[in-house]
Structure 1
Amino acid sequence: MLEDHKILVIDDDQDILLAAKLLLKRHFAAVDICNRPEQLPKLMAAGQYDAILLDMNFSPGESSSKEGLYWLQQVLEMDPDAVVVMITAHSAVELAVETMKYGATDFIAKPWQNEKVLATLSAAIKLRHSRREASMLRQSNEALIEVNQPHSEMIGESTHMQQVKRVIERAAPTDANVLILGENGTGKELVARDLHQQSHRRDKAFVAVDLGAVSENLFESELFGHAKGAFTGADKARVGRLLAANGGTLFLDEIGNIPLHLQAKLLTVLEQRQVTPLGSNKSQALDIRLVAATNVDREQLSDERLFRQDLLYRLNTVEIKLPALRERAGDIALIAQHYLHMHKRKYHKAELEFSATALREISRYEWPGNVRALRHAVERAVILSDGPFVESTDMQIPTSATFSETNPETDFMLGAASSNDHQDLDLEKAERELVSTALHRHNFNISQAAKALGITRASLYRRMEKYDL
């Protein structure tokens, strides 16, 4: 018997259906029969078939094959990768051949020869599998185009960073799951990519998913994928990020922010090493190297009211703690120089360098947003600089007044309203200042900054991109 192969036979003749079932059930795992083609949508919604045998005529006295052609088109609309073998009388072979122009895979003539039926179905099943593999590959490639980013080197010679690099070198060649802890902007995705590049999976996919940007409603669809028609708006099947990473590395950023009920679903997939797309009843094997990251501190992760401890054990076979930039101040000038050289090439300012004062101020500043904030500040300085040197003023490092004990959001609004003569009514500038102030006040913690501003995380991300923050 050919395991896991499921066949559907549609014919209005009960004798044909019985004969087909008696023959096919000895060779295939499951055989469904039906004498009413209008049941096709319901049958196909309930599960996928490896091959469908479809009669060409159903109404008494009908011989035009219009009904068969109609239902063939319905099947292919519901499942473009379906393989359909037409059943026809010897007198209508020419019509059966014609249906192949509309998507039929092959045909068999009644009365049939058993060997011919089996050979035709075996070929059809192989075609079905080839189509599915090609479809999966296309969708995987589409997913990878969305998520793959070029790999950048990790910069730093401090003791902290040397320790991090040693752990990466030891863990990378294994398939051990890794949990990366650290504040926003410390380079957690860089570590994940470095783990991938030094692993035996380096030639396979690296798929990064920012769970903080995935809404609860779309969590399962985004990670597990979905079948066509799985929910309203699912007009085509989609490969989830887990299957897109199959054979490679899956990086789940902001793992600490997903709610408990979704943590349970993720744990089930990781334990079973298989994933079932939404709207499908067929599981697919999963082979991934999992790297997760969070800015949530270790104490919060250890609170079972906030994070499942069984999932935590699954994630942190190896744990890497990334230091904040203020904890490796000796690396700041080195990182700033790296981004200066990168951006002055980008903006065609080859002669630009840091002044001694600017470099000193950069190294003294604590950078609440860590490397990410430093990178943005350097790029902005390169754009704004109009001389041979990047000066402290170009870097726009906030003064101590920016971090007063009073609420900066309130201070800004009061300051704007304090004088009608000097009031700045540039709405975009005001919004940019508010967003920048909130980000700095909350150390670039996206969730806290968004809450302080009264907007969603997605809205904050859009404004950060809009204002280059």
Structure 2
Amino acid sequence: MDILVVDDDMAIREAAVQLIEDADHYAEGAEDSALAMDALKSTNFDAVLLDLYLAAENGLDVLEKIKAKYPRISVVMITGMGSIPDAVKATQLGALDFLEKPFSREQFALILQRIKRHRVLEEKVEELTEEISNTQPTARYTSRSKVMQDSLDILFRAAASSASMLLLGESGTGKSMVAKEIHARSSRKNKPFVTVNCPALSKELLESELFGHVKGAFTGAIRDTRGKVHAANGGTLFLDEIGELPKELQPKLLRLLQDWEYERVGETKTQTADVRVIAATNRDLEEEVRNGEFREDLLFRLNVISVELPPLRQRSEDLVTFAEKFLEFFAKQYRRDVKKFSKKAIETIQRYPWPGNLREMRNAIERAVILVRGDEIEPEDLPNSNVKIAGKNEEADGPWIGGEFTMDEIEQHHMERVLETTSTLSRAAEILGINEATLYRKRKRLGMK
């Protein structure tokens, strides 16, 4: 490691430099903050040993200056007797540890080990972060589709505020990814982004997941838990599929949105939390309100900024771009020499309605990259359902994405094909991302049987 020792006491400074070099590391010394900052500019140091008192300078001020400009450098404060409270404050400002003077060779060796372990952990985090990024295609927040551009423009202009947001759209349209991007563009970006999947748990477990519980609140509650609201304090709470939130929990969420207050399960003490709520659903919440399944006042609170993310079939301008990005990503991930789609494969992609949206396209392209025999993807390399439905469209000369057809014609054609390939209305409604009542109304409006 490369370590900088900043101390105005020459004896201490030289002794520390010698101990660092004896441990086979590189070291430099500086007697004040000006020399220290110059040294940090010229050398990529891993750590700084910083005296708490530098003649007329306060080491805490120097610590803040170093961490502001070089946040990844580990800083260990060197303190004298009786300055432990200041050392504790230093750790709150970002110092890794503190070393009390006078120190022994053994104490100094332990500090070096601590710095080394911290450095190794940081490198491991960097490796894992890179590994994770390599398993996910880069999200795109630009679009050639005007309807998508307009949606993103509204969301990202409002990102800096703390207003609640409601993301609407079919399953697979990227609502969770957009929610993360909103958080990343907000003033809360350095605070947690916490997701709660509303349909995943029973009412009782979901309440505990959200608000936490105290020991003994219910069978299996063997210890106190804080809950996701507490975990998201200062940051963003993303409620996925909010339309599935049980009616019994809706007043409690409304109270959180109105007053920032809540209680843990089994406790009467009021807790507070400063969270920005982003909710997402593929349901028609206004219809749910009319049916008595969703509170109107809660919808108003969630609906401060509301945007619908259009399905992929309404973004024909982006279809090929997304497909090519997925192809490039998966070819690299699986080390396959697959360069492009054939002309017929492109036509198949453009004609297919993609009821599962981006999630379905990702899976389809990943499968094609794994199974393709050559360096070019053909229609037969895509999942059978894609080829079959796209083929029907072509044979029947029906409307297809990107053609000169009205939205009603495309919507009717898509619903007909989905109804043909599903055994129940509920399954068709699930694929279409609407409820059965909405499906019934749309079929009636379009004159479908």
TM-score grouping bracket, smaller chain normalisation: 0.5 to 0.7
Work out the CA distance in 2 between the residues paired with 1:446 and 1:216.
Answer: 23
Residue number in structure 1 paired with 2:214: 227
Residues 1:356 and 1:318: Cα distance change in structure 2 (over 3 Å):
same
Residue number in structure 1 paired with 2:201: 214
Deviations along 1:74-96, whole A, 9 cap, x unmatched?
xxxxxxxxxxxxxxxxxxxxxxx
Within 5 Å, which residues of 2 pair with 1:83-162?
Answer: 152-162=139-149
Work out the CA distance in 1 between the residues paired with 2:251 and 2:268.
Answer: 19
Q: 1:263 pairs with 226, 250, 265, which one?
A: 250
Residue number in structure 1 paired with 2:108: none
The question of 1:367 aligning with 2:367 is answered no
Work out the CA distance in 2 between the residues paired with 1:241 and 1:406.
Answer: 42
Shift of 1:282: 2.7
2:431 partner SS: coil
Work out the CA distance in 2 between the residues paired with 1:166 and 1:399.
Answer: 37
Deviations along 1:418-440, whole A, 9 cap, x unmatched?
xxxxxxxxxxxxxxxxxxx9967
Work out the CA distance in 2 between the residues paired with 1:195 and 1:378.
Answer: 27
> Given that residues 222 and 240 in structure 1 are in contact (C-alpha distance below 8 angstroms), is that contact kept between their aligned partners in structure 2?
yes
Work out the CA distance in 1 between the residues paired with 2:284 and 2:178.
Answer: 18
Tell me which stretches of 4 or more aligned residues in structure 1 moved more than 6 Å.
148-151, 437-441
> Given that residues 336 and 374 in structure 1 are in contact (C-alpha distance below 8 angstroms), is that contact kept between their aligned partners in structure 2?
yes
Point out the more displaced range, 307-316 or 226-235. 226-235
Residues 1:440 and 1:367: Cα distance change in structure 2 (over 3 Å):
farther
Deviations along 1:372-428, whole A, 9 cap, x unmatched?
111111111111112111111111215247947557449xxxxxxxxxxxxxxxxxx
The question of 1:443 aligning with 2:431 is answered yes
Within 5 Å, which residues of 2 pair with 1:161-176?
Answer: 161-176=148-163
> Given that residues 144 and 318 in structure 2 are in contact (C-alpha distance below 8 angstroms), is that contact kept between their aligned partners in structure 1?
yes
Residues 1:380 and 1:446: Cα distance change in structure 2 (over 3 Å):
farther
Paired residue type of 1:331: D
Work out the CA distance in 2 between the residues paired with 1:440 and 1:361.
Answer: 22
Residues 1:446 and 1:398: Cα distance change in structure 2 (over 3 Å):
farther
Deviations along 1:322-379, whole A, 9 cap, x unmatched?
1111111111111111111111111111443212211121012110111111111111
Q: 2:388 pairs with 395, 399, 419, which one?
A: 399
Work out the CA distance in 1 between the residues paired with 2:291 and 2:254.
Answer: 14
> Given that residues 225 and 277 in structure 1 are in contact (C-alpha distance below 8 angstroms), is that contact kept between their aligned partners in structure 2?
yes
Shift of 1:269: 2.5
Q: 1:236 pairs with 207, 212, 223, which one?
A: 223
Residue number in structure 2 paired with 1:134: none
Paired residue type of 2:364: A
- For structure 2, which runs of at least 5 residues remain unmatched after alignment? 1-91, 93-128, 393-415, 437-449
Work out the CA distance in 2 between the residues paired with 1:222 and 1:316.
Answer: 23
Work out the CA distance in 2 between the residues paired with 1:230 and 1:153.
Answer: 44
Residues 1:329 and 1:440: Cα distance change in structure 2 (over 3 Å):
farther
Residues 1:155 and 1:393: Cα distance change in structure 2 (over 3 Å):
farther
The question of 1:183 aligning with 2:170 is answered yes
Length-normalised TM-score, structure 1: 0.54
The question of 1:356 aligning with 2:347 is answered no
Work out the CA distance in 2 between the residues paired with 1:177 and 1:319.
Answer: 9
Residue number in structure 1 paired with 2:297: 310
Work out the CA distance in 1 between the residues paired with 2:195 and 2:334.
Answer: 28
Shift of 1:155: 4.9
Residues 1:352 and 1:444: Cα distance change in structure 2 (over 3 Å):
farther
The question of 1:383 aligning with 2:370 is answered yes
Residues 1:211 and 1:404: Cα distance change in structure 2 (over 3 Å):
closer
Q: 1:342 pairs with 316, 329, 345, which one?
A: 329
> Given that residues 184 and 295 in structure 1 are in contact (C-alpha distance below 8 angstroms), is that contact kept between their aligned partners in structure 2?
yes
> Given that residues 156 and 335 in structure 1 are in contact (C-alpha distance below 8 angstroms), is that contact kept between their aligned partners in structure 2?
no
Work out the CA distance in 1 between the residues paired with 2:171 and 2:251.
Answer: 25
Shift of 1:209: 1.4
Shift of 1:304: 6.0
Residues 1:441 and 1:399: Cα distance change in structure 2 (over 3 Å):
farther
Deviations along 1:30-69, whole A, 9 cap, x unmatched?
xxxxxxxxxxxxxxxxxxxxxxxxxxxxxxxxxxxxxxxx
Paired residue type of 1:327: Q
Work out the CA distance in 1 between the residues paired with 2:190 and 2:265.
Answer: 29
Shift of 1:441: 7.1
> Given that residues 260 and 307 in structure 1 are in contact (C-alpha distance below 8 angstroms), is that contact kept between their aligned partners in structure 2?
yes
Work out the CA distance in 2 between the residues paired with 1:329 and 1:195.
Answer: 24
Q: 1:248 pairs with 229, 235, 251, which one?
A: 235
Paired residue type of 1:284: Q
Residues 1:388 and 1:398: Cα distance change in structure 2 (over 3 Å):
closer
Shift of 1:216: 1.5
Paired residue type of 2:244: N
Work out the CA distance in 1 between the residues paired with 2:428 and 2:376.
Answer: 26
1:231 partner SS: coil
Deviations along 1:105-159, whole A, 9 cap, x unmatched?
xxxxxxxxxxxxxxxxxxxxxxxxx9xxxxxxxxxxxxxx9xx998833352210
Shift of 1:272: 2.5
> Given that residues 325 and 370 in structure 1 are in contact (C-alpha distance below 8 angstroms), is that contact kept between their aligned partners in structure 2?
yes
Length-normalised TM-score, structure 2: 0.57
Work out the CA distance in 2 between the residues paired with 1:252 and 1:404.
Answer: 29
Work out the CA distance in 1 between the residues paired with 2:248 and 2:208.
Answer: 15
Shift of 1:300: 1.2
Work out the CA distance in 2 between the residues paired with 1:446 and 1:304.
Answer: 15
1:226 partner SS: coil
1:399 partner SS: helix
Work out the CA distance in 1 between the residues paired with 2:329 and 2:291.
Answer: 44
Point out the more displaced range, 208-217 or 179-188. 208-217
Residues 1:308 and 1:298: Cα distance change in structure 2 (over 3 Å):
closer
Residues 1:438 and 1:398: Cα distance change in structure 2 (over 3 Å):
farther
> Given that residues 151 and 307 in structure 2 are in contact (C-alpha distance below 8 angstroms), is that contact kept between their aligned partners in structure 1?
yes
2:239 partner SS: strand
